[in-house]
Amino acid sequence: MYGLGANALDPVAIEKIYAAKGRPPTSPLIVHVDSVEMARSLVREWPEKAEMLARRVWPGPLTLVLPKRSLVPDRVTAGLHTVGVRMPANEIALALIHESGVPLAAPSANRFTELSPTRAEHVRDSLGDRVAMILDGGPTLVGIESTVLSLAGSEAVLLRPGMVSQAQIEAVIGPVSAVRTHDAGIAHPAPGMHPRHYSPKTRLVLVSAASLPTQGRGAYLWIAHPANTGRCIQMPDQPEPYAAELYRTLHELDAEKWDWIAVERPPSDASWDAIRDRLERAAAR
């Protein structure tokens, strides 16, 4: 996922992120680090569970939410006492953090609620001259946003599902509860909890068994049930390759100006939780 990065310790730089994205003040930013040591410098507590997960999963698509130190500006965290930290697996991102010498706040590089970018051209199309430069690292590998796990309380709480699954986390630290919604109008404990998110400009609808809209011309993404329509694309039947292709495919279809994009509902088992979350928010109106 391409991120819109700025010095996480500079309130002026952080304000530029919110302005460029049109992001509401209730949505906190994730702070990206190049080491466990840098992560620990930003938080007041580093519990054993955080250490276990960082050593097992980092660098990788897992964000840990922990009580923040005062050096992290409140604007980064939407005024909350917690901050989300992550060590990305991308070598260019790690090199950028290392060379800058500071942690980088970096939400997805797109306008708020729109499709997340998986290629440099997606950033250019969404943000244009709102950013000073675009560092092209080629297509992203995971395809969707990180898993967000809160370790700020007595229990581990999954705030946003991702491709590091709840089962994988529980195999390391034990039971995890889940929160998928949050009240509007107040600070969210993690990004990606807005009811409508990850949305193409074209209307997206979730369908079962090829029950497509009857009005207008559309495109259809399917796994098990093909259909005759303007554009019909078979998606991978496993969650990892599906996630890697999803946003790229939606960007492509968005550019083709269909009346609607229909997406066959993915399987109901837990390995598809993150994909279902993204599609349900993308379809919300």
Pure H helices in 67-138: 91-100, 120-127
86 φ/ψ angles, rounded to the nearest 5 degrees = -150, 145
**Residue 263, pLDDT score:** 98
**Residue 280, pLDDT score:** 96
**Residue 57, pLDDT score:** 98
Residues whose CB is less than 8 angstroms from the CB of residue 45 and which lie 6 or more positions away in sequence, other chains included: 66, 67, 152
Question: If 0-12 CB within 10 Å is exposed, 13-18 middle and 19+ buried, where does residue 183 land?
Answer: exposed
Helices (H) and strands (E) in the chain, counts: 8, 12
**Residue 136, pLDDT score:** 93
List the one residue out of 179, 169, 195, 191 whose CA is nearest residue 83: 191
**Residue 182, pLDDT score:** 58
**Residue ranges of domains in the chain, CATH in brackets:** 6-178 (3.90.870.10), 203-283 (no CATH)
**Residue 195, pLDDT score:** 84
Mean pLDDT by groups of 10 residues along the chain of 285 residues: 95 97 95 98 98 98 98 97 97 96 97 93 93 92 94 96 97 92 74 88 94 96 95 97 97 97 96 96 91
